[in-house]
Amino acid sequence: MAFPPDPGQGSGSLTTSIRTISAAAYSVNSSDATIRANAIGGAIVITLMAASAAFGKVITIKKVDASANMVTIMPQSGDTIDGVTSLGISNQESSFTIQSNGVSWDIVGSV
């Protein structure tokens, strides 16, 4: 049986979406993979989609500015991220990578 070639074959890399935001509020959508949050103009709240609707979804959120403004990651009401109701990122170049297990969100990496 022949299989179709891997779309990334030969490139040695995987391409995913990357978005830079600076608005005070942002809702993660199904096409988001990496979100670069620039909070120089003020605090940012990033709201995740419902974990039950995003099974297996992996999202990385990174703060890219040096301001004292916080980037807060909020799950939907009733969801948690490793048992907590929000995550805060205060340092430049710090990030969290999270994945939905279908019931809640798991932290699978952080810097």
Domain residues of the chain, as ranges? 18-110
User: Would you mind telling me the total number of residues written for the chain in this entry?
Assistant: 111
Positive or negative, the CA dihedral 82, 69, 49, 29 is: negative
* pTM above threshold 0.75: yes
Positive or negative, the CA dihedral 84, 97, 62, 51 is: negative
CATH of region 18-110: 2.60.120
Q: How confident is the model at residue 3 (pLDDT cuts 50, 70, 90)?
A: very low
Answer whether residue 106 shows pLDDT above 90: yes
Mean pLDDT (whole number) for 12-39: 93
Mean pLDDT (whole number) for 21-43: 97
Percent of the chain with pLDDT over 70: 89
